[in-house]
Every structure is written in C-alpha cells, then in structure tokens.
Amino acid sequence: MPDLVGLPEVERAAERLAGVAVRTPLVPFPGDGGLLVKPESLQPVGAFKLRGAYNAISRLGRRERERGVVTHSSGNHAQAVAWTARALGIPAVLVMPHTTPAVKVDACIALGAEIVYVDPVARLETAERLAAAHGLALIPPFDDPDVIAGQGTVGLEIVRDRPDADVVLVPVSGGGLIAGVAAAVKALRPEAKVIGVEPELAADARESLRLGHPVTWPAEETGRTIADALRVQRVGDLPFAHMRAHVDGIVTVTEDEIRLAMRRLARDARLIAEPGGATATAAYLFRKKELPPGRTYVAVLSGGNVDPALFQEVLR
C-alpha cells in the first residue's frame, strides 16, 4: 500500500497557501439548518484546484521552474496550473480535451498558457510525452501526494470552522479532492463520515470501492454526464488508497438532480455552481436517506466555472 498523505503534510500545504488560496466560508443553505456549503467557486480560478496545483508547483526547484510545467485536465486543474505558473513566472503547457467548455479554455488562454487539444483518452499520454521531450515538470491533476495535500486544506478548514461536522460530502472525479479532505477530516474528527458523490453516468469510483480496485469506465460513458469536471474515467491509484482507508461510502445523483441543485444554489444561496460542483449539494437535497445520520452536514461546492449558456438553461 502506498504512503498516505497525513495531517502534517496538509498543514504544511496550508502554510504555503496562506495568502494565495481563499479561506472559503461555510455558508448555511437557506431553509435548512442542517446543511453548510463550502463554496470553492470563490477561489481566484473558480475552483478548489488552485490549492493542489499551487502546493505542488511551489515545491519545484529553480531549474524545474525555469523549464516549465505541463498538465492534463478537463479545465479546472488546467486553469489552476496556468494561474500558479503566471504567479510564479513559470511557462505552462496545458493538455486539454477538445470537449472542454470554452469558458474554461478561454480562462487558461487569458492566463498566458499554451494549449494542446487532444481526444479525452489521449490526455495523460500526451502530457507525459511532452514532459519527456521538453523537460517539463508534470503536475498531475489528482494522483500526486503534493496535490492531495493541497486539496486536503479544504477538509482542514471545514473541521477548524465546524468541529461538530458530522457528515462531509465531496464530489469525486479523479479522487484528489476527496482523498485530501478525508485524510484531514479523519485525522481531526475520526467520528465524522466522509461521503463521495458522483453522477450516476460516471460512477466509476463507487464501482471501484465496491470491487476493491480502480475500475475504468469508457470515455463515451463518462462523457454522457453534464458534469464535465467529473468525467475522469478512473480514480487515481494514490487517491483510491486514501478512499479505501478513509471514505465511508459513495452516493450517486442523477442529471436532473444536478441541474436542480445548481438552480437551488443560485436562487436560494446565491452561489454559482458548475454541474460537478453541485453534486454534493444534490446528494443532501435528494439522496439524504442514503446518507449517514447527523446534525451538521457540509457539502463541498468544488467549482463554479459553468458555461454561461448552460447556466441560463438550468435557471430556466
């Protein structure tokens, strides 16, 4: 079993991120005293991914920084790497699926990064090839201890703000966010339950935990969900090891439930969520019977980089 990220690594990540990442608040969901929403949409890049990307890139040596960084991402991690690279004066190359929403691509271009478009299944291979050919440092979107430690600062803040949190709901894609959050939450409040949430149409993490090993779903299957940030075909090996050690279960939500949660977050809580970012709230609103009992629930709103046309459609 690989070495897991612990509380000391998460706390050191929090020190690096001080003054960089926003310490997002816990926002009470109107009309329901039991739900708090942690809006990572308030980060400078509109998603939690800044935490892991900055923690990983800031640890590079001088020569690695001079050569530059490369990553593969469907959008939010790419934007986080681009933002961090510009802040630290580092060249950045982003390998992105051609299906990535334009709002995310445009943000990356505005940050000065070089974009390489590929088919979704070719992301990792292309990024590895570019890293080897040009001496670039590969910054993985989730399967990396420094990235996981950075994402874990979300869990650190949750427990420090609400030591009474009973259930923490976390969207699952490649698993970096839930791995870090679960590591921090379980270290500080072992009795709390950490539950992953993913779309029914991209439920590879649930199947992976059930079978005891990471399962790959075809891109044409995960590509069906509206939640573009959660279309990763397989959880990472290191995140999966954290999930097996710390995560108490996975629930899934439907496409309609995701849309309704986006609408409720916007209209009731005045928070903008992209589809993937709304899944944890959707689990509380529509699948509470499947969740562990508790008095205080926290839903991580992982990102708000939603396509404007889609957002208008959802609000209608």
Q: Which of 38, 49, 186, 193 is catalytic?
A: 49
Backbone angles phi, psi at 95, to 5 degrees: -95, 115
Q: What is the DSSP string of 150-183?
A: HHHHHHHHHHHH-TT--EEEEE-SSSHHHHHHHH
204-235 burial, b at 16+ Cβ within 10 Å, e below that, comes to: bbbebbeeeebbebebeebbebbbbbbbbbbb
Q: What are residue 170's DSSP bridge partners?
A: 196
- Between CA 108 and CA 88, with CA 114 as vertex, the angle to 5 degrees is 70
Does the active-site annotation cover 49? yes
* N-terminal to C-terminal alpha carbon distance within the chain: 48
**Alpha-carbon span 10 to 145, nearest angstrom:** 10
Q: Which of 73, 74, 173, 302 is catalytic?
A: 302
Instruction: Name the residues annotated as catalytic.
Output: 49, 302
